[in-house]
């Protein structure tokens, strides 16, 4: 490993770890821009998914009481999501993943830009089991097809009137479950070569430390600020994804 490779891996892990620790999503969106500079796509995705899973377990422990109190709400997202993962994997052979990523980037930019400019955010407080299940299913499809499981659930949940810890209690475990499935497929497909494991040995400790810093920021954020933060990160991550795909 060269010094330049180590620097880009550490920078990607730090950025992704902090964002995931603070907002419960965004590992792949923020890490891949750095990782793809110094390694092939399969290795970059393998590192991103592993970091997202480990950091997601940390973040889920942070809101374990909220998860236990809202198990049925979480199940409405997770169970359809698990159905969507194998469908997303199978679609890899039939769709253009680059076009899919550009489409998701456009939605993130439009959504984040529109709601960032609104003075008053929507307050969806009533139960929406059908929409929750649909969002979970589509998140699973996107997770299997492009490791983008967090995009749609984050967009939808940031419009709910739930407190920030309840929001995290949906987003974080959902991403852990969906990306764990993706991680298992990557392992079975031989993505973790010796070089990948060396890169991971550098990236994972950095990501864990910066995720802790993100947790500290999360604990100090008011609920409304956290919702605004999620929407703003949708705009930033959509722009980053768009630029990465175009460049």
Instruction: Assess contact for 35 and 43: CB atoms under 8 A.
Output: yes
Provide the number of structural domains found in the chain: 1
- Residue 229: other Cβ atoms inside 10 A: 18
Query: Which pLDDT score, from 0 to 100, does residue 97 have?
Result: 66
Question: What confidence tier does 212 reach under pLDDT thresholds 50, 70, 90?
Answer: very high
Domain span at residue 67? 3-246
CA distances to 46, 93, 123, 161, 176 from 52, rounded to whole Å, are 10, 25, 29, 26, 7
Backbone φ and ψ for 160, nearest 5 degrees, come out as -80, 160
pLDDT tens for each residue of 94-141: 777 677 778 878 888 888 887 787 777 777 878 889 999 999 999 998
pLDDT of residue 11 exceeding 70, the answer is: yes
47-91 tens-digit pLDDT:
888 998 999 898 899 899 999 999 999 999 999 999 998 888 777
- Which among 162, 171, 139 has a CA at the least distance from the CA of 52? 171
With bands split at pLDDT 50, 70 and 90, how would you rate the model's confidence at 158? confident
pTM, 2 dp? 0.84
Q: What confidence category does residue 92 fall into, taking pLDDT thresholds of 50, 70 and 90?
A: low
- Share above pLDDT 70 across residues of the chain, in percent, rounded to a whole number: 98
What single-letter DSSP state applies at residue 92? T
pLDDT of residue 65: 94
């Amino acid at each position: 490993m060269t010094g330049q490779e180590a620097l880009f891996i550490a920078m990607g892990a730090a950025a992704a770890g902090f964002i995931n620790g603070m907002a419960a999503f965004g590992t792949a969106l923020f890490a891949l821009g750095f990782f793809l500079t110094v390694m092939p796509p399969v290795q970059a995705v393998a590192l991103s998914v592993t970091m997202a899973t480990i950091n997601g377990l940390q973040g889920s422990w942070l809101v374990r009481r909220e998860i236990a109190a809202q198990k049925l709400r979480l199940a409405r997202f997770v169970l359809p999501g698990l159905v969507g993962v194998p469908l997303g994997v199978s679609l890899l052979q039939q769709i253009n993943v680059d076009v899919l990523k550009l489409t998701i980037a456009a939605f993130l930019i439009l959504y984040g830009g529109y709601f960032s400019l609104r003075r008053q955010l929507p307050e969806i407080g009533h139960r929406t089991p059908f929409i929750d299940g649909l969002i979970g299913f589509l998140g699973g499809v996107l997770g299997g097809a492009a490791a983008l499981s967090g995009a749609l659930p984050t967009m939808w949940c940031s419009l709910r009137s739930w407190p920030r810890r309840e929001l995290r209690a949906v987003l974080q475990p959902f991403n852990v479950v969906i990306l764990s499935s993706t991680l298992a497929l990557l392992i079975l497909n031989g993505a973790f070569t010796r070089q990948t494991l060396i890169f991971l040995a550098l990236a994972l400790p950095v990501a864990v430390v910066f995720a802790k810093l993100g947790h500290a920021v999360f604990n100090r954020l008011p609920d409304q600020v956290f919702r605004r933060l999620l929407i703003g990160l949708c705009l930033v991550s959509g722009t980053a994804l768009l630029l990465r795909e175009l460049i």
